[in-house]
Structure 1
Amino acid sequence: MQAIVAEKSSQAESLAAPYKHRKKGSYIEIDPCKTFPEGALLTWCSGHLFEIVEPHEMDASLKIWQLDTLPMIINDFKYKLIPEKAKRFKAVKEVLTNPKIKEIVAAGDAGREGELIVQLVIRMSGVKKPMKRLWTQSLTPKSVQQAFDNLLDIKVTQPLYYEAMARSYADYLIGMNASRVYTLLIQSKGVNRSSGSSGVFSCGRVQTPVCAMVVNREREIQNFVSTPFYELVSRFVMEGNEYEGKYTIESGTRFDSKEKAVVIQNECQGKPAMIRELKIEEKNVQPPQFHSLSTLQALANKRFKMSPKHTLEILQTLYQNAYVSYPRSDSQYVTDGEAEAFPEILKNLKSLEPYSGLIEGVERSISADKRYVNVEHVSDHYAVIPTEKVPSLVDLSEDEKKIYDIIVRSLIAAHYEPAAFSHTTIQTNVGEHVFITKGKQLLKEGWRKVMFDSDEEENKEDEALLPNVQKDQSGMVKSVSIKEGKTSPKKRYTEGELILAMKNPVVEDSEISKVLKSVSGIGEESTRSNIIERLKQLDYIEIEKNRVAPTQKAFILIDAVQDTVLASPELTGRWEQRLKEIGKGDASAKNFIEQSKKLAEKVVRDAKQQADSWNFDSYIQKMEEDKYVGPCPKCGAGVVDKGNFYGCSAYKSAECNFTMNKKLLEKTINESNMKKLLEKGKTNLIKSFKGKTDFDAYVVWKDKAAGSIRFEFKKEKVKS
């Protein structure tokens, strides 16, 4: 009998679906059948059940963060059971240790993390039985059956396990050492909880260069100097037809001074004009490619303001219900095998009302189209596409419908002919002065019947039609106007744009650029949204009107690491390159970990050497200004929010020691009440202070000059 270990409960249900089975508490029993002659027991993890032991749990002297204990070089990594996952591990272990079980099938997601989650649980259970690997990128019954009928020997995917282990060990080494050394050194410069920071300056080989990308973009915006420019727009009359043209020279269409524009304006006003060139060109626009996870996350964020994390969660649900293929893919292509299923998928999708008419109009087969079917661009996973299992749309949530619709339309559109446009360019001369007019007209709808190539509204898609004019026609300048504008800086990233910037980072060094391209950018496709969420949790970024803004804490960290490998995409690019070699069996995980130890030593050494040059006073002042609550009762300076308490911002300059805890008899004095106390001397009535008995009271000054407080009780009305 075989034991099958899935990654999640929903995945386990999908794996059992093609076979007669019954759920028995914490596992599923599959009846004997052709695939499982003796039956099978199917159990599941709940994501990661184990984590690497903390440094202080291996060495008690490391519990207190101190510079003289760095670098921490761990030679024997140990794992511990995550406490809240103990019940799940017990259930898995009971199945694995069942004497009827002679072989184990690892059935995690088809990737290195899925490999690690399941194999680690099996190893930690102490069970040593023959193992096979289930590898499927779709959880439809047909795909599941095919995968079970073609199980891989565990040796085939074992390198992925070593890759995942090496990645987790190395990230642990770098993250632990970098976070400790930078936290301690930055705090030694006066940046700590009292100045509004959350204390720890967490670092990592992916999160730190991404944080640097956000900070660097913000600095570009801050340092940008806007300059005015001027453009000339002329309106022409040609034998009864009117159209506009923009004055154009070799350097473009803009003047740097209004005076220059006025000179040309005067020279053209009311003068004869002639059409010197008329160019009409027909261009075909191919249907968009299929989606990878990143392109889906970017589009959903742009179109629906959906966070990348939420998009991945929705995709995971659709995948677990077998409606779409494996979501954590970095490819926009499929192999010939997947393409063979397209006719059946389209046939099944035809049953859904929004798509039936569109599929009726399918114009071609794409089985030989390299834009979509190209095995050379498929590594572990192919593009995210719909499966032959079609949902009932009424059973999907609104967000699930939105994401499913994008995926379905990308497949349908690929089966349509290109859209065709007519591009017209008119060159109108007024003496020696040249004006250019451009227009576009849709000639053939093609795939645009299914979807648009941008998020613009339909009525904005096409430029206005140009009049029917001819080359060498003569006319007059009806008017010439000057339009004034200002240069503008780049915008902050949206979360979707940041995902794409991680996938395609721009670096000046051509060699590093090649490395990053070979590994599909910074970080894994599946973890980029987690990196963004992690940066939020660490108080490095905030989302303002759907755009990513760095905090003062982020500026401090990037100032500190800017001249080190931690701030550069190069480290994570070369890291991923080597990890992929480990995953293919072409490199040693042991050697990689040893190199990571040396890198951890270098990170600590570099930080200690550079710390003397750091100065964060301006950031500290800004953070304190942001946390301003009101005037200090003792010295008049600003009282700021310092986390667990309120305190005077002049504690250094004026040596003012005013502080007040936020918690008072188990009640929180919120910012609104603290403002009232500082500005008016009295809070609102606060209910349920915890004394011998609960009571309601105002907080007022007992001695304002000393900064001491007392309670004032609400006066009861005297009944007459």
Structure 2
Amino acid sequence: MKLVLAEKPSVAQSIAKVLKADKRYDGYLEGNDYVVSWCVGHLVELVQPENYDIKYTKWKYEDLPIIPTGWLYQVSSATNKQFKVIKKLMERSDIDGLICATDAGREGELIFRLVYHQCRCRKPFERLWISSMEDSAILDGFKNLKNSSEYDALYEAALCRERADWLVGINATRLFSCLYSQTLNIGRVMTPTLAMVVIREAQISAFQSIPFYTLQLSFDGFNASSQRMDSKDDCDKLRQSCLESKTATVVQVDKKNKQEKAPLLYDLTSLQREANRLLGFTAQQTLDYTQSLYEKKLVTYPRTDSRFLTDDMAASVNCLIDEVSMKFNIGIPISKEVKQIINNSKVTDHNAIVPTKQITKFNLTELGKGEYQVLKLIAMRLLCAVGKPFIYQETDVVLKCFDTLFNAKGKVTLDLGWKQIKEYFIENKKEKEATQLPNLAIGEKLIIHGSEIKEGKTSPPKHFTEDTLLQAMEKASVDEMSVKIERKGIGTPATRAGIIEKLVRIGFIERIANKKVKNLIPTQKGISLITVVPELIQSASMTADWEEKLLGIEKGTYDSKEFMQEIEDMVTGLVKNYEVVKGADVIMNNKKVIGTCPHCGSDIIQGQKGYFCTNKECRFVLWKNNAFFSSIGKKLTETQFEDLLRNKRLKLKECQSKKTGKVFNSTVILSTENDGKAKFELNFGKEGQK
């Protein structure tokens, strides 16, 4: 029998159905000479530093750098039950081989191999490599299983990525947290991403708007504008001169037929960007919806960085276009310029995201709203991508009045092409028609019917949105990478959404709504971190260099041991050579002072989890989730904490004892132990007990 190991339960169930392994057991399915189980994501993970040495339990500068001589792994406590199931299955005497069916990519390979090695399994295994969860794709994949050795280099690259991230994350986080006396999370991709957001906000803050003026002249059926002018008086003088002149002369007429080619198919990043722009979804939401559609067999593999299909898919695409068109009731002719989306050389691990034929059998009303909207986008992009170009005629006219040139632009649609499909799918997205200019001849004099001074001002850069930050991550350090490298930028299509979510979760950036758009704005904590972190850590150059070398490891052109030695040397150099930024105590300690310590008289500042004394020798702290107040059924507000610190007492109504259930009013008296720890006492006084 063969043991098939998938990455998620839903994927395992789809594979088991195709293989007719229909007997269900706790943690696996069995039948037809197959046992199918799943990993539930990362079952096995790198241990924390304290597992190497108990001294690492406390974060101390003198213990850095932490560089393991032999890497240790552990089973995640949350998934230990499933790990035991898989281990027993691997040890079964009737299992003579395994099939790795985790997601077909670097991380999927890592997940399987870590479980395989943690179980000390020595049985041979093969690799299932598919880009679609359709039954036909699964069957075809099992008919063409790959030799596991073909993916040894992919596993080696994944292992290097994981361990290098651990080294940088653990050491840099502890280094800066120790030096600046607060938790400062550092990540190889996360920190450069934060730096881009912080730098953009600095550019916006430093930007000084400069006013400018243009003169607009009105003619029969169109307007023409001058170049920008710095002085309103000069613009007004020109206006008076033009009105006195009464006419303008046509000095140039340039007509050109132009075309806009059909867009490429979606990879994950371009899908996330458009879903953010058109639907307001975060990158993580789009990934989650697309992953769900993939597991329902309605779209191909989502975590792809390719925007093309392979040669062998060309024949089936024609049918797929018809089926998608019928499913969405497209009442207009669909072009089938299939060659535009076929390119073997530009497909890496997986092809672009497209719907599958399963869409014809599925009742789309069963989908959630988000899933349906994402599927609709993917369907629209397939039909657009095989469309004819959007063709238009653009006319540029230059007129002269009082020795000043005025420009007018006209645009006429000749053939909507692929944009007709987009207009069908997306309401209120019709192609905007520019003014159609009349037929004009060089030397012709036109009567000026009116004039107006238009006032404007230069605009600062725009805040990052999910859309534009994903684009920036994708393009970061592209100029520094070899043209031969397919995967550029920082992060991967699969990880960028998680990076943005983590930055929000740990309080380095926040989403601020501005009308229908949510801008990504750095918090003061995020700005402070980038202020003190050296260029090496916050620059996208390091991760660009990593990615190039990791891809070299995948292809067998770069040595993994050399890569890891470089990472160890870099981390050691960072710890030994980094100097605390002068004045950083002012930069980093920007927390709100809310009172005076009742024990030592120092300032009390507000942190994420509580209110702390700024005197490092004092042990006074008021936790926001305070056990004492929880015991009487109360959770204090910031104002109540401030009152308690200021007055050393606080009146509370309708408290409730967790032990007796009795409701009472009381006054809490705050004092401290000899070592500074907070002490509370209930004083009923006149309030009495209810």
Q: Output the TM-score relative to the length of structure 2.
A: 0.90
SS class of match (1:422): strand
Q: CA deviation at 1:676?
A: 6.7
Task: Find the aligned partners of 2:78 and 2:601 in 1 and give their Cα distance.
Answer: 49
Match of 1:408 in 2: 379
- Structure 2: distance between partners of 1:425 and 1:453: 30
CA distance in 2, matches of 1:647, 1:598: 37
**In the alignment, is the contact (CA less than 8 A) between 2:305 and 2:487 conserved in 1?**
no
Q: Name 2:490's counterpart in structure 1.
A: 522
Q: Is residue 463–residue 521 contact of structure 2 (8 Å, CA) maintained in 1?
A: yes
Cα displacement (A) at 1:173: 1.1
Equivalents in 1 of 2:365, 2:319: separation in Å? 22
CA pair 88-713 structure 1, distance change in 2 beyond 3 A? farther
CA contact (8 A) 1:5 1:106 kept: yes
Cα distance in 2 for residues equivalent to 1:479 and 1:398: 51
Deviates more, 1:108-117 or 1:86-95: 86-95
Contact 1:19 1:30 in 2 (8 A): no
State the alpha-carbon separation in 2 of the partners of residues 153 and 492 from structure 1: 48
Secondary structure in 2 matching 1:244 = strand
Cross-structure match for 1:11:
11
Distance verdict in 2 for CA 1:373–1:711, change over 3 Å: farther
Structure 1 residue 306: Cα displacement: 0.7
**Structure-2 separation of matches of 1:397 and 1:692:** 46
SS of 1:450's equivalent in the other structure is helix
- 8 Å contact kept, 2:606–2:612: yes
* Residue of structure 2 equivalent to 1:641: 606
Does the C-alpha gap of structure 1 residues 686 and 223 become closer, same or farther in structure 2, counting only changes over 3 Å?
Answer: farther
Mean Cα displacement is larger for which, 568-577 or 674-683? 674-683
SS of match in other structure, 1:298: helix
**In 1, are the aligned partners of 2:481 and 2:548 still within 8 Å (CA)?**
no
Q: Describe how 1:106-121 pairs up with structure 2 within 5 A.
A: 106-121=100-115
* 3-state SS of paired residue (1:522): coil
Alpha-carbon separation, structure 1, partners of 2:267 and 2:408:
38
Asked whether the equivalents of residues 505 and 516 of structure 1 are also in contact (C-alpha less than 8 Å), the reply is no
Unpaired segments of 5 or more residues in structure 1? 33-38, 188-198, 248-252
1:314 to 272, 280, 289: 289
Closer, same or farther in 2 for the Cα pair 1:519/1:299, shift >3 Å?
A: same
Matched, 1:222 2:205: yes
Structure 2: any 5+ residue segments left out of the alignment? 672-677
Q: Deviation digits for residues 649-701 of structure 1, max 9, x if unmatched?
A: 8x79xx99997554243232122544676899966635325576543336577
Question: Which residue in 2 is equivalent to 1:669?
Answer: 636
Identity of aligned pairs, percent? 30
Greater CA drift, 45-54 or 455-464: 455-464
C-alpha displacement of 1:521: 0.7
C-alpha separation between the residues in 2 aligned to 1:694 and 1:210? 52
Query: Which residue among 233, 242, 250 is the counterpart of 1:268?
Result: 242
Distance change in 2, residues 1:636/1:228 (3 Å): farther
Letter in 1 for 2:417: G
Contact 1:110 1:135 in 2 (8 A): yes
Indicate if the aligned counterparts of 1:631 and 1:638 stay in contact, CA closer than 8 A: yes
- Residues 12 and 438 of structure 1: CA distance in aligned 2, closer, same or farther (over 3 Å): same
In structure 2, relative to structure 1, the CA distance for the partners of 1:454 and 1:295 (3 Å cut) is farther
- SS at 2:59's partner residue? coil
Conserved? CA contact 1:334–1:383, under 8 Å: yes
Please give the residue correspondences for 1:156-305 in structure 2 after superposition, counting only pairs within 5 Å: 156-187=150-181, 199-236=182-219, 241-247=220-226, 253-270=227-244, 271-305=246-280
- CA distance in 1 between partners of 2:477 and 2:60 (Å): 37
Deviations 1:54-78 (A, max 9, x none): 1111111221111111111111001
Say if 1:69 and 1:637 are closer, same or farther in 2 by CA, change over 3 A: closer
1:382 and 2:351 matched: yes
Query: What's the CA shift for 1:524?
Result: 1.5
Sort the Cα spacing of 1:634 and 1:8 in 2 relative to 1 into closer, same or farther, 3 A. Answer: closer
Instruction: Say if 1:697 and 1:713, in contact at 8 Å, map to a contact too.
Output: no
| Corresponding position of 1:348 | 323
The one of 551, 572, 576 equivalent to 1:580 is 551
Partner SS for 1:235: strand
Q: Which amino acid aligns with 1:244?
A: N
* Distance 1:638-1:332 versus aligned 2 partners, 3 A rule: same
Matched with 1:558 is: 530
- SS of corresponding position for 1:451: helix
Q: C-alpha displacement at 1:314, in angstroms?
A: 0.9
- Distance change in 2, residues 1:307/1:684 (3 Å): farther
Name the CA distance, whole Å, in 2 between partners of 1:125 and 1:351.
49
Q: Please tell me whether the aligned partners of residues 24 and 30 of structure 2 are also in contact (alpha carbons under 8 angstroms).
A: no
Instruction: Give the Cα separation in 1 of the matches to 2:271 and 2:685.
Output: 58
Shift of 1:399: 0.5
Q: 1:393 aligns with which of 354, 364, 367?
A: 364
CA distance in 2, matches of 1:233, 1:125: 76
Q: Following the alignment from structure 2 to structure 1, what is the Cα–Cα distance between the partners of residues 585 and 424?
A: 46
Shift of residue 458, structure 1, vs aligned partner: 3.3
Distance 1:112 1:121 in 2: 15
Aligned amino acid, residue 653 of structure 2? L
Alpha-carbon distance in structure 2 between the residues aligned to 1:267 and 1:31 = 91
Deviation at 1:714, TM superposition (A): 8.9
Displacement, 1:336?
A: 0.8
Return the structure number with greater relative CO, CA threshold 8 A, min gap 6: 1
Quick check: 1:20 aligned with 2:3?
Answer: no
Listed one character per residue, the Cα deviations across residues 553-611 of structure 1 (whole Å, up to 9, x for unaligned) are: 21222122233x1111111111111111111222222332222211210121232xx21
Counterpart-to-counterpart distance in 2, 1:695 and 1:50 = 49
Q: Is the 8 A contact 1:504 1:517 kept in 2?
A: no
Asked if the contact 1:288–1:453 (Cα under 8 Å) also holds between the matched residues in 2, the reply is no
Q: What CA distance in whole angstroms lies between the structure 2 residues aligned with 1:517 and 1:318?
A: 30
User: What residue is the counterpart of 1:363 in the other structure?
Assistant: 335
